Structure 1
Amino acid sequence: MAKEPKNYSRRDFLKTSGVAAGALIGGGIIGGLIGANANNTAAPGEAPATSEGGSAGGVRGLMFFKNDAEFQILAQATERIFPEDDLGPGAIGLGVPYFIDRQLAGAYGENSKEYMQGPFLEGETTQGYQSRLKRNEMFRQGLQIMQQEAQSRFKANFVDLEGGQMDEILTAFQEDEIQMSGVNALFFFRLLRMATLEGAYADPIYGGNQNMEGWKMKGFPGHQAAYINDIESEDFVEIEPHSLGMQN
């Protein structure tokens, strides 16, 4: 019998993500919740175009994905993990899919700075990276299996599913019920979830957190040159966020 999905709010999601205090702990975001809008039956948002009309308002090309269909699956999966709601934009609106695309094309996706020689043994869930696969290979395989699961379970493409159906597939990954090659489904899900959160809250210079909306939702000031003019103020000071890519 299928498990009844729970209805989580964005605030519940952030609390269980370890980011409720406004800080993103690199490498340590391993979650329990995927369906922040699990009972939301509204049609998922459209992913931004891969050429003109992207979320940046200009031309945004892809660096890793050569198949737009895979990129759209990624976009919808990240939106289910970090959905748009009354607090602000979701993963798509924040440009998270483009952030992940850029990361997969670089040292992160290629595991360039990590030891990747054998022997390769199946590690415990508490251990770190144990796979012979590079991260970009894991992502590509995971997205392809999402599509296969959508076809098998619902006779439809993943991007055409209702939100609850997408959540069912993502939950199957989270609960390690999906068979993957060279990596277990839970580890892939954790990578996907962590990358989604990083794209939502990293400096916009890396391609996500569009217009610093992720920071604005949390009142995070970004990278300020100094606080000397405000530090002794007895009143609460609201500071406009500042990105590394902005001119001082």
Structure 2
Amino acid sequence: MSDQPDVSRRRFLRSSVAIVPVASLAACEPRSSTSSEASPSGASAAVAATPYKPKFFDTNEWRFINAAVDRLIPHDDEGPGALDLGVPEFIDRQMDTPYAHGATWYMQGPFQQGAPELGYQLKLVPRDIYRLGIASVDRYCIKAHGEPFAALNDATRDTVLASLESGQADLGDVPAAAFFGQLLQNTREGYFCDPVHGGNRGMGAWKMIGFPGARADFMDFVNQNGQAYPYGPVSINGERT
């Protein structure tokens, strides 16, 4: 976590979209398309009328996810935050995919911490990282601050997240840095994904960075550095802003 001003964070968000590989998004089932989704006002009204109910995370875990992503990408004057764009919904829906079950990973032992270039070496799949990690972070917070993570104020939440990122927090069951990395990666993905995956509600992140989305043709604007893209983004389902 950085102590730089929010404007630096927003620059980071704009640049980090380039390092969120499309292939990393699991092929979760798209939300059914309706006529109301053809217009921003209709889509927003539908979302507001039907709050998302998590299928994987329990009540305490859901509070943690909402509180954590809100600090990783908070709302500010420059753009929407993770909660505005439905990032918790994206993460919850990912937990019911082959990705979260590690279905395509080699998961046979021995499990040893190797050199960084060898990549992920833990025996935990994403579902396990979240289930064990959230419980461990809450125990850590209760011991260090007297309350679970979601009950802490924003400044203390930032302190806890910084200790996770640096690996200084002892979580026992899950390496702190690995848990933080999983959470941050999925938060970025949910913030910038196509709305079909449950995040980037109303394509707010795309509008903020001027990304055209799933438009069939925008090559005329590719090498026009510094020139704003003149049209709004389009989602895979054809939703426009």
Bucket of the pairwise TM-score, normalised by the shorter protein: 0.7 to 0.9
Q: Which of 168, 173, 176 is the aligned partner of 1:185?
A: 176
After TM superposition, the structure 1 stretch with the greater mean CA deviation from structure 2, 237-246 or 8-17, is 8-17
Structure 1 spans left out of the alignment, 5+ residues: 30-52
Q: Which of 190, 201, 204 is the aligned partner of 1:199?
A: 190
| Cα separation, 1, equivalents of 2:140 and 2:23 | 28
Identity among equivalent pairs (%): 31
- TM-align CA RMSD: 3.0
1:129 aligns to 2:96 (yes or no): no
- Determine which structure has greater relative contact order: mean sequence separation of CA pairs < 8 Å that are 6+ residues apart, divided by chain length: 2
- Where do 1:130-209 residues align within 5 Å? 130-181=121-172, 183-209=174-200
- Where do 1:1-248 residues align within 5 Å? 7-16=3-12, 19-20=14-15, 23-26=18-21, 57-65=49-57, 67-181=58-172, 183-227=174-218, 237-246=229-238
Structure 2 spans left out of the alignment, 5+ residues: 25-44
Q: What TM-score comes out, normalization by structure 1 length?
A: 0.77
Q: Is the 8 A contact 1:24 1:198 kept in 2?
A: no
After TM superposition, the structure 1 stretch with the greater mean CA deviation from structure 2, 143-152 or 196-205, is 143-152
Q: 1:61 to 1:80 in 2, by over 3 A?
A: same
| Cα separation, 2, equivalents of 1:220 and 1:138 | 32
SS of the equivalent of 1:61 reads coil
| Cα separation, 1, equivalents of 2:218 and 2:121 | 43
| Cα separation, 2, equivalents of 1:191 and 1:156 | 23
Q: 1:119 to 1:157 in 2, by over 3 A?
A: closer
CA deviation after TM superposition for structure 1 residue 134, in Å: 1.1
SS of the equivalent of 1:208 reads coil
Letter in 2 for 1:20: S
| Cα separation, 2, equivalents of 1:157 and 1:21 | 30
Q: What TM-score comes out, normalization by structure 2 length?
A: 0.79
